[in-house]
Amino acid sequence: MTDATLDRPTIRRPDLSAKRLGKRYAAEKRFQLYGILAILAAVLMLGVLLVSIVAKGYSAFAQTEIALEIHFDPAELDPDGTGDPEVIGRANFQGLINEALYREFPGATGDRQARRALRGLVSSGANFELRRMVMENPAVIGTTRTLWFRSSDDVDVFLKGEVTDIEAVETRGRLSLSETGDEIELSSDADDFAGVLAAVKRSLAAEADEIESDAAREASAVAFYESELERLRAANASSEEIASAEASLASHAESVERLAARVETLRARAAATGGSEELDDELPSFVVSANGGVVKLTSVAGSRATGRALIGLESAAPAAPGAWQLRRYVVPEASRRLSDEEVAWIDALEQQGKAELTFASGFFTSGDSREPELAGIWGAAVGSFYTLIVTLILSFPVGVLAAVYLEEFAPKNRITDLIEVNINNLAAVPSIVFGLLGLAVFLNFFGLPRSAPLVGGMVLALMTLPTIIIAARAALKAVPPSIREAALGIGASRIQTVTHHVLPLAMPGVLTGTIIGMAQALGETAPLLMIGMVAFIVDIPGGFTDPATVLPVQIYLWADAPERAFVAKTSAAIMVLLGFLVLMNALAVYLRKRFERRW
């Protein structure tokens, strides 16, 4: 310190104490951490999005097929032996399939409901497949062949393990069976059913616990309304308010009692030693497979059990230890779409190798359908293709011409300024507004057909135009003026300069922008909803004016469908769409990298 500084006592030295610096550095660390966290959060969200879609969708690339022994009965197909395709075409092919199913499970043909369930195993599109096959090859008539058919979506979902697990329960004893009417008595000399009884009691206890916690929640609601009532009475609230609170209190109190009673019965059932237990549809199902049949246990008592046949037994002979199995369908019948019978059938088919998961080629080759197992994305993909062709044909030349004009020829005045501002704004106009434009102008005013790729392509072209113009202008701007001067200097006209020199040099950039614009158009949904491309269309579109839909709209339609199997289909369609987008963007990146030029 010199004297001069001492003259000015007001000048303060910075506070560089370790404490304060430590605080400042802690703040610094924190701040940097926020940044890292933000990026990680964004990446994580992207990851969750992709993983959830792949996890939901990968199973749709596989599909269950069922092997059936079809007898091509000439009496059914072609009774007069004419060989006339028209006669054969009218035959009842569904009947052939049904008969094959009935033969497979003869026991199930008794009641209509079971028959319907049995027919439901095979996709409703199977008869068309069969018909096509016979029409193509009439020689099969009279023979019997094993053919693979697509299963219905419920079977498919089951085979993918999304309905219930099936667990084997260990058995040691010898099983003896006796059939009285519909009822089957089972007993094992090794107490094997006692384990079932114990498992049932555990389930009962668990259920009681669950209901008890529900009851506790209700009880707290009771407490809440009691205090609420007191508060209302104290505050002299209107009688209506008090009445409504009283009503709520009463209803909650009532359900507390009801639940408590149920808990009590359940607990009593669970606690009782020995005795017998009914297996209702809220408990996991236990089934015994023996003698070529499957028996579902309906009640158990120690070493004995009674049950009914899901698949008829071939004989009532006793089964040696190891020759019979006890199995458990983990999810209770009441909580799944497939009944015990259906599970038993599919399980039997699977064990005999007659139901298998195969590659779902139909997903890539067929159009939309109400039946999940028949629905495919080919129709939507073709629709997307036609739509994008129209978009490309319209937006690429117009976009490039507009960009060349604005960048190379336009005088800098208010009008070109206006065009420029206008293009920047158009790029940010919500896409649905373009849909409204398409509806009002292309459909209602010009009378173009609804749902057509032509109109979809036109709307998307207007939407991608700003993207292409902006990218093309940037690419043109990046070409150094010296190139233009060189060309002009040897007497080329301005158009020659642009077409011979500037545009070829800018082309990689223009193409990159165009591909990115096309990728945007491929993923766009909202404007196409406005012009009717949401219709349910089974046929593969064959031209620009045929009714069609596109991939993203197909995804939207499937996402709305109630069948569970459509969730996987939707996710799989999303994976296909994302695949196309990745390809297009990779192409754009490749173009940029390959032809990138630094001036």
Partner 1 sequence: MSAVELSPDAVGKNAPKIVARGVNVFYGSAQALKEVDLDVGEHEVTALIGPSGCGKSTFLRCLNRMNDVIEGCRVEGRIELDEDDIYDRQLDVVQLRARVGMVFQKPNPFPKSVYDNIAYGPRIHGVGQSKSEMDEIVETSLTRAGLWNEVKDRLQSPGTGLSGGQQQRLCIARAIAVNPEVILMDEPCSALDPIATARIEELIDELRQNFTIVIVTHSMQQAARVSQRTAFFHLGNLVEVGDTEQIFTNPRDERTEGYITGRFG
Partner 2 sequence: MNVLTILVVMVGLSVAGYYLGTRQAVGVAGGQRSRLHSLPSYHGLYLASWVLLPAVALLIVWLIVEPHVAEQALIANLPASVEQMDPNTLRLTIGDIEARALGGIVGREVAPEFQPAAEAYAATLSISRWLMAACLVAVMAIGGLLAFRSIGVEMRARNRFERIAEVIMIGAATIAILTTVGIILSLLFETARFFAEVPFFEFLFGLQWSPQTALRADQVGSSGSFGAIPLFAGTLLITLIALCVAVPIGLFAAIYMSEYATPRIRGTAKPILEILAGVPTVVYGFFAALTVAPFFRGLGQSIGLDVSSESALAAGSVMGIMIIPFVSSLSDDVMNAVPQSLRDGAFALGATKSETIRQVILPAALPGIVGAVLLATSRAIGETMIVVMAAGLAANLTANPLEAVTTVTVQIVTLLVGDQEFDSAKTLAAFALGLVLFVVTLCLNIFALHIVRKYREKYD
- Whether 452 and 546 have beta carbons less than 8 Å apart is answered as yes
DSSP bridge pairs for 358: 63
Name which of partner 1, partner 2, none residue 11 binds, using a CB cut-off of 5 to 8 Å depending on partner kind: partner 1
Instruction: Using the minimum distance from each CB to partner 2, give the nearer residue, 287 or 528.
Output: 528
Helix axes 18-57, 565-595, angle to 10 degrees: 120
Chain positions 507 to 536 lying near partner 1, rule: CB under 8 A, are none
Instruction: Using the minimum distance from each CB to partner 1, give the nearer residue, 9 or 447.
Output: 9
The DSSP letter of residue 408 is: I
Positive or negative, the CA dihedral 397, 399, 401, 404 is negative
Closest CA to 384 of 551, 571, 556, 578: 551
Instruction: Using the minimum distance from each CB to partner 2, give the nearer residue, 366 or 431.
Output: 431
Q: How far is the CB of 37 from partner 1 (least distance, A)?
A: 24
Q: How far is the CB of 26 from partner 1 (least distance, A)?
A: 13
- Binding status of residue 556 toward partner 2 by CB under 8 A: yes
Instruction: Using the minimum distance from each CB to partner 1, give the nearer residue, 1 or 428.
Output: 1
Query: What is the total residue count of the chain?
Result: 599
Interface with partner 1 (CB under 8 A), residue total 14
How many other β-carbons are positioned within 10 Å of the β-carbon of residue 300? 26
* Locus of tokens 């939901």: 56
DSSP bridge pairs for 184: 179, 307
Chain positions 396 to 455 lying near partner 2, rule: CB under 8 A, are 397-399, 401-402, 404-406, 409-410, 418-419, 421-426, 428-434, 436-437, 439-441, 444-447, 449-452
Positive or negative, the CA dihedral 307, 309, 314, 320 is negative
What distance in Å separates the CA atoms of residue 19 and residue 303, rounded to the nearest whole number? 78
Contacts of 487 (CB under 8 A, 6+ apart): 496, 497, 500, 501
N-to-C CA span, the chain: 56
Chain positions 196 to 255 lying near partner 2, rule: CB under 8 A, are none
Name which of partner 2, partner 1, none residue 139 binds, using a CB cut-off of 5 to 8 Å depending on partner kind: none
Instruction: Using the minimum distance from each CB to partner 2, give the nearer residue, 219 or 398.
Output: 398
The DSSP letter of residue 531 is: T
DSSP bridge pairs for 67: 148
Name which of partner 1, partner 2, none residue 359 binds, using a CB cut-off of 5 to 8 Å depending on partner kind: none
Question: How far, CA to CA in Å, does 524 sit from each of 251, 529, 551?
Answer: 50, 10, 9
DSSP bridge pairs for 307: 184, 297
Listed ranges 28-36, 107-115, 293-301, 314-322: which one lies at the site for partner 2 (CB under 8 A)? 28-36
- Whether 503 and 529 have beta carbons less than 8 Å apart is answered as no
CA-only gyration radius of the chain, Å: 36
With CB under 8 A as the contact rule, the residue among 303, 547, 563, 564 that binds partner 2 is: 547
Q: How far is the CB of 541 from partner 1 (least distance, A)?
A: 56
Phi, psi of 69 (to 5 degrees): -90, 105
- Binding status of residue 25 toward partner 2 by CB under 8 A: yes
Q: How far is the CB of 32 from partner 1 (least distance, A)?
A: 15
Name which of partner 2, partner 1, none residue 275 binds, using a CB cut-off of 5 to 8 Å depending on partner kind: none
With CB under 8 A as the contact rule, the residue among 276, 325, 339, 585 that binds partner 2 is: 585
Chain positions 461 to 490 lying near partner 2, rule: CB under 8 A, are 462, 465-466, 469
Instruction: Using the minimum distance from each CB to partner 2, give the nearer residue, 48 or 139.
Output: 48
Name which of partner 2, partner 1, none residue 2 binds, using a CB cut-off of 5 to 8 Å depending on partner kind: partner 1
- Binding status of residue 116 toward partner 1 by CB under 8 A: no
Q: How far is the CB of 593 from partner 1 (least distance, A)?
A: 24
- Binding status of residue 41 toward partner 2 by CB under 8 A: yes
Q: How far is the CB of 48 from partner 2 (least distance, A)?
A: 8
With 0-12 CB in 10 A as exposed, 13-18 as middle and 19+ as buried, what is 513?
buried
Chain positions 1 to 30 lying near partner 1, rule: CB under 8 A, are 2, 4-5, 8, 10-16, 20-21, 24
Listed ranges 46-54, 251-259, 375-383, 476-484: which one lies at the site for partner 2 (CB under 8 A)? 46-54
Name which of partner 2, partner 1, none residue 235 binds, using a CB cut-off of 5 to 8 Å depending on partner kind: none
What distance in Å separates the CA atoms of residue 186 and residue 560, rounded to the nearest whole number? 47
User: Site residues (CB under 8 A) for partner 1?
Assistant: 2, 4-5, 8, 10-16, 20-21, 24
